[in-house]
Each structure stands twice: as C-alpha cells, then as structure tokens.
Structure 1
Amino acid sequence: MGPLNPTLVHTQAPPVMEARRWLAEATLPPDMPLLNVSQAAPTAAPPLPLREAMAEAVMAEGQAHLYGPVLGLPELRDTLAARIAAIYGAEVGSDQVAITSGCNQAFAAVAATLAGAGDNVILPLPWYFNHEMWLSIQGVEARALPTGDDLTPDPDAAAALIDDRTRAIVLVTPNNPTGTEYPDALMAAFRDLARSRGIALIVDETYRDFHGTDGAPHGLFADPDWDDTLIHLYSFSKAYRLTGHRVGALATSPTRLEQVEKFLDTVQICAPQLGQHAALWGMTHLASWLAEQRLEILARRDALRAAFQRLPGWELLGSGAYFGYARHPFETASDALAQRMVREIGVLALPGTMFGPNGHAPAAREMRFAFANIDARGIAELADRLGRLRA
C-alpha cells in the first residue's frame, strides 16, 4: 500500500458509521425493538406529490440527466434568494446564492475559500463533527470555544481566541447537536466581532425550517453590507426529506462565489440535477406541508422536554429542531454508556465525546438524542428506557 495522507489518517472516523457498527455487533434486548435516535435525518420518503413531480422530471426534463451550471439551476437560485429576502426582510440577489451537493459541501466550499493549512476556525462546543472533520482533513485547526450550561457561545471568549491565523467563526442555529437557538442579539454580537477583526461569520441554518421562533430568527441579512462578513448555509434535505439527493445552498458575496465555483467544479461539477428540481418544486408547492412539519417537530420538542422533567438523574441541557442534548447521571463515560444503551435498552444515540476534542471533560457526561424519526409516543418510550438504565 502506498502512503496515506496523515491529516486524513488523524481525522476521526465518521461518528454515525461508528454507531452503526455498535448496532451490528450488539444483540438487542428481546422485548425492546430498536429506538434509533442517532441520526438527525428523516427516514420517511418525500411527500407523494413531490415524488410524483420528481418522477415527471426524470421522464420529461432531459437536462435533469446532464451537467448543469456549477453554481446551481438559475430558477432555484432565484427562488432561494427571494425566499431568504422574504424571511429576513432583506435584499438578497441570486448572484449571492449557490446550490451545493448538501450542506456539508457548502461548508467545505466556503471553508476552502477562507482557510488553508496552518490557519484556524473557531467552533463552539459541542461542535458539529463534520465541520471539525473537514477542517482536520485540510490541516486547519478547529479552535474550540467552550460554552456553559446554557450551551450558548460568548463573543468575548471567542475574541480571546482570535489571532492572526483565525479565518472564521462558525455558528450552527438551531444547533446540532444541542438544539439550542441563538438569540438575535447574540448573532449580531458575533457579526460585529467578526467584522471588527476582518474574519468571516459562517452561520449554518440547516434546521431553520424548524426554528421555534415565528418569523426571522435573526437580523443579520437586514444589514445592507451583510455579505462582507456573513456566509450563510442552508439545506433542503431536512425540509423536504431529500437527504439522499444531496441539495444544500450557501449565500455570500459574488466575489467569494467566484472562488466557490472553482471548488465545486473540481469536486462534483454541479449538485445533483434531480435533487435541484425537487428542491425547486418543494419551495414553490409545499409551504403548507412544511409548516405542518414544523409544528410536529416543535410538538416533539415539547414532548421531549416534558419527558426529561420526569426522568430522574438526567438533565436536558438543550432542545430544539431535531435534537435533545442531555447530561447523564452515571460515572460511565458517554461513549461507553452509548454502547451499553444499545445492548441493555435497545437505544442507539450518539455520545457527547463525538462532538468535541479528545479529553473535553463535559462531553463524557453528555448525550445527543435526535428525534426526527420518533413521535411523542416514541419519545415517552425513550424516557422509559433511559429510566431503566443502572450504574
């Protein structure tokens, strides 16, 4: 075998795949069918009208089978720009929007325009592991920004981490893994910090469609010069159940998009055409359906909060979007506890140790529960099973 890239070798293994190995190696309790709360992705198919529209596109849209524009279908870029402008009460042009192969690629693309080996990017803890993994692969330091029990990052603490190799601060809201929604004033404070220090503020709003606040979740786009600092990431996968079709997006300055285009053309040329057609149809036809899905997710969030209030020893630190993030009451570290949970109570969840650097002490007591695929009854069953765990 030839040489291996050391930065890739030293990057952690994909956490969801690791959890699936635990499942493959475990024997579930005979009276407890699997409760899989490990992955924040809907497993249900897209709604039938959307699938019918996709089938029609397969048959009738010849362009859906060919390379498309690197930055995305013009109609989808136009529609998304208008949607962002409408949500945030802002001016956003289609020349400030690009379509990517999922939101992970959107992050990778903008990170590639910002940082190279030896640079650093600030990630609040607990972080979304794929963000850290991409930076690691590129030789970019993921500079950890600790958070307190409220799981919100402190701009002053972030300012103390910035040096002459810092290229960006990343905020995910609603947060993955914690579900925490960052308030408008906090977002503005981070924007002001980033602008004053000449770095970028990357805001990943993959779960925006399930935000607990009606209307605009923040005012960053209302700034007429938003694109000199803000880089916005979004995903159609969660909104329209298109995870396998890989459709994400980003909004930034036209100048940065010129560099993004180089990255996308080199990696994949264009986002999957069928997925882009599906996202466009969803945006123009499924507003009422998506609003109903949001209310269902918010109801599940409330059910999770109520269930944890009745669960002795456990402390729910954050909840929102698809997530609950909790502190467990056991001496066992969360990575070992997560494997025990599969064997003893048939629950597959991800430990906090997957969402931070090695040795980060709080993570050993923390666990993420993703409730995208369990309803209120399933959440009650989850709490019941957690209550059966013993030290």
Structure 2
Amino acid sequence: MLTLNPLLAAVAAPPIAEAQRWVAGRSFPADRPLIDLAQAVPGYAPPEALTAYLAERLRDPAMHRYTAILGVPELRAALAARFARYYGGTIGPENVAITAGCNQAFCLAMAALARPGDQVVLPVPYYFNHRMWLDATGIEALHPAFRPDDGGVPDVEEVARLITDRTRAIVLVTPNNPTGAIYPAQTLRAFYDLAKRRGIALVLDETYIDFLPTDARPHDLFEDPDWASTVVHLYSFSKVFAITGHRVGSITAGPALMAQVEKAMDCVAICAPRIGQEAALFGLERLGGWVQGNTAAMRERATVFRTALSQLEGWRLVSLGAFFAYLEHPFAGRDAVAVARFLALEHNLLTLPGSMFGPGQDRFLRVAFANVGSDAAPVVAGRLTAALASR
C-alpha cells in the first residue's frame, strides 16, 4: 500500500464538491427547481465580443505555447496601470505576476513567505482553500475570533496579540469570502501598519474588488512609497470577466517576493494558460463598459437580497456584499452541515455550511447570491421561511 503525505491526507475534502454530491443525480420539479447558491460564479456569460476574439486568437500558433513565467508582458503592464489608476501610488509591470487563478496566487505567495512550522494569521471564517493549503504545507493557521456583531471584520488588537516570532503574514479577504463583509479603509490601514511594524506580510486578497457597492477607492495602501515591503496583493480575473474556467489571477508585490514566486511558478505550472491571459488583456483594454454594467447589476442584486434576507423571521443576516451573504440559521442544536443538507434535500436550496469556513461556524450558512438573478431573492426568502416552519 502507498504511504501518503499525512499533511495532505489530513486536509478536508473539497467543500464545493461535497455539497454538490448532496443533490447529484436528483431531478427537480419545474415549479421548484434547484436554486444553487453554493459556488461563487457569475450568473452571466462572458460577452460575445470576448468569445469571438478568443476564437480568432486560437488560430495563432503562439496561443498554444508557453509565455514568460510571470505572464505576458502586455498583460502585466495593463494590470499595473489599472491598479495604479485605481489605488494610486507607484505600481509597475515588474510588480505584477500573472497566475493560474487567484487560488494559485495564494499558494505561490505562501510558498514564497512561509515554510513548515511557520504561522499565518487567517481570520475566521476563512476562504476554505486558504486553510487547506496552509494545512497541506505544514503552516500553522492562527485564527482571531469571529465577530458577527461587527459584520465579521477582524479586530486589529486581537491579531496583534496572536503574532509570534514564527508569524510570517496576515491574510485578509475583502470583500470577504464567505461573509461578503467589506473591510473599512481605516481597518486595512491599521492592519498594514501592524504588519509593517512587526516585519511580516499583509496578504490582501481582493478577488471581488470589482463588485464593491460604490466607486470609492477601498484603501490607500499603495500610496505608501514603501508598500512593496509589506503588501502582497492577490486578484482574480475570473469573476470580473466571467472566465472562471480560464484560470487567470495575479500577485502584485515587491521584487524580493517576485523572485521567489517566479521559482515556484516555474515548478508548478511554468506559466498561466496563454488563452486565459489573452482574455484578461482583452477585458482590461476593451470591456470597461461591459464591466460597469455588470457591477451596477450586482449592486442592485445585493440590495434586493439584503432587503429580502434581512426581513426573514428567525434568520439573521450577519453581513452581505459582493457575491455573498452570511446567515445565522435558527435551528438550535443542529450543526451547519445538517441544516445545509436539509435545505438542499427538502427545499431545493443549495448553500454551504459555515463549518466549511472554520471552527465555531456551525450557526451560519454562506449564500452565494451572485449565481442567480434578483428575481430569485423572494423565492429564496420564501424557501428559508418554509424551512423554518417545517423544522
């Protein structure tokens, strides 16, 4: 029998796949179809202009070859310019690496920052793939307490008390997955100051930055001339251009970290998929109006779902933003997996249990409302109400 890596063997199974197995093979009546609020995917397809462009580009033999390890130079330059306009400060192409999705961006960043036995601060509830990767690589996760009364925004002073001489980074996801919470600019500044003072990285995952409720700049961290000594910024093109299957993300950081990321990237993928990089570049250069339309639609959808979910009797809306809502369920004595399975099997409503996002989360469910239209909000609310009545 093979001897397996005990670290990886101890990692939880992929949560989305587990939830999908609850409804696999089932048929659903036309008047009560399955509403899938489990996986965070845009509820719309990429524009025809993009798919037509990619179809034509596939005729070019260069599209089927490797790119530079850190990405197509034109894409790195375009993203650096976009970030410099949006955030302010000085960001150049040399600060940008293109990765095979934001998940890989996180893995590469951790490979560059930490080794087995080191620590990383990961607030609860966390994005499950982050914890899975830390566990698989022998990095200890430090969890500040979840603060539902503050919308899930972590406390800077508590994090400061957790940091030891083995701590290498603080990881923040904003807008948050799973809670949807949007961290205030002053909170991000406080975490930046803490990380800089303690000589560790602030890893800032802004996968959902294109779906903020306003056009206001979310923070000014890049305006610090020395930002690259502290900030490791992660981003994804998957949601903004609806190209989740093409796997394109990015790391924005200083040259010291980039040199290590390049080594790791060369080993695990050599480069991000070429056609995905072409899609991202096309999007940055030509899809600004389309993105603005989707941002407006998602803002409207968030407002509709906030209204519907906040008025539910028995259920408590903890936070909501970008693609997600985080609900406290009313089923005392039942863990989150049991509640999520009950909703899936009895009410044709697929959500994710909070326990997939960390300890102490059995009272909560993640609702990925971006998957559906605004017209689904009253239907979802109705099914949650019916579930409470049938307990």
TM over 0.5: yes
CA distance in 2, matches of 1:122, 1:161: 8
Distance across 2 between alignment mates of 1:212 and 1:307: 17
After TM superposition, give the deviation of residue 213 of structure 1 in Å.
Answer: 2.8
Deviation at 1:44, TM superposition (A): 3.5
Q: When the two structures are superposed, what TM-score results if normalisation uses the length of structure 1?
A: 0.97
- Retained in 2: the 8 A contact 1:176–1:323? yes
SS in 1 for 2:24: helix
Aligned counterparts of 2:229 and 2:174: Cα–Cα separation in 1: 20
Cross-structure match for 2:386: 388
Report the counterpart of residue 280 of structure 2 in structure 1. Answer: 279
- Name the CA distance, whole Å, in 2 between partners of 1:147 and 1:187: 17
Kindly indicate whether the alpha-carbon contact (under 8 Å) linking 2:179 and 2:326 is maintained by their aligned counterparts in 1.
Answer: yes
Change beyond 3 A, Cα 1:29–1:146: farther
Map of 2:342 onto structure 1: 340
Q: Give the Å deviation of 1:242.
A: 0.8
Residue 43 of structure 1: how far off its partner (Å): 5.3
How many percent identity over aligned positions?
49
CA-CA distance at 1:29 after TM superposition: 6.5
Counterpart of 2:368, as a letter, is A
Q: Is the 8 A contact 1:334 1:352 kept in 2?
A: yes
Is 2:43–2:373's contact at 8 Å kept on the other side of the alignment? no
Q: Does 1:5 align with 2:20?
A: no
Q: Distance in 2 between matches of 1:373 and 1:20?
A: 15
Letter in 2 for 1:254: P
Distance 1:65 1:322 in 2: 33
| Residues 372-383 of structure 1 aligned to structure 2 (within 5 Å) | 372-383=370-381
Q: Which moved more, 1:129-138 or 1:19-28?
A: 19-28
How far apart are 1:370 and its partner, in Å? Answer: 0.2
User: Following TM superposition, by how much is the alpha carbon of 1:343 offset from its aligned partner in structure 2, in angstroms?
Assistant: 1.1
Asked if 2 retains the 8 angstrom alpha-carbon contact of 1:89 and 1:221, the reply is yes
What does the per-residue CA deviation read over 1:170-198, in whole Å, with 9 as the maximum and x for residues that have no partner? 00000000111001100000000001111
Q: Does residue 296 in structure 1 map to residue 294 in structure 2?
A: no
Cα pair 1:27 1:343 within 8 Å, conserved: no
Normalising by structure 2, we get a TM-score of 0.97
1:45 Cα deviation from its structure 2 partner? 2.7
Give 3-state SS (helix, strand or coil) of 1:262's partner: helix
Q: Distance in 2 between matches of 1:115 and 1:7?
A: 16
Which of the numbers 366, 369, 375 marks the counterpart of 2:367? 369
1:84-137 Cα offsets, whole Å, 9 max, x none, are 000011110100000000000000000001111111100111100000000000
CA distance in 2, matches of 1:29, 1:365: 30
Structure 1 CA distance, aligned partners of 2:6 and 2:179? Answer: 31
Report the residue type matching 1:378 in the other structure. A
Deviation track 1:251-272 (CA, whole Å, cap 9, x = no partner) reads 0001211100010000000000
| CA RMSD between the two structures | 1.2
| Alignment pair present for 1:221 and 2:222 | yes
Q: Which stretch shifts more, 213-222 or 106-115?
A: 213-222
C-alpha change, 1:213 and 1:43, in structure 2 (3 Å) is: closer
Q: C-alpha deviations, 1:218-244, integer Å up to 9, x for none?
A: 111111110100000000000001100
Q: How many residues align?
A: 386
Aligned to 1:133: 132
Q: Distance in 1 between matches of 2:45 and 2:321?
A: 22
Q: Contact (CA 8 Å) 1:35, 1:347: kept in 2 or not?
A: yes
Residue type of the alignment partner of 1:203: L
Residues of 1 paired with 2:202 and 2:156: CA distance?
Answer: 12
Q: Which amino acid aligns with 1:15?
A: P
User: For the Cα contact (< 8 Å) 1:28–1:345, is it kept in 2?
Assistant: no
5 Å-filtered alignment, 1:248-327, equals 248-327=249-328
- After superposition, where does 1:26-37 map in structure 2 within 5 Å? 28=28, 31-37=31-37
- Secondary structure in 2 aligned to 1:372? helix
AA of the residue aligned to 2:342: R
Runs (5+) with no aligned partner, structure 2: none
Contact residue 41 and residue 238 of structure 1 kept, 8 A = yes
Residue 42 of structure 1 and its aligned partner are, at CA, apart by 2.0
Alignment of 1:112-151 (within 5 A): 112-149=111-148, 150=150, 151=152
Q: Aligned equivalents of 1:205 and 1:46: distance in 2?
A: 21
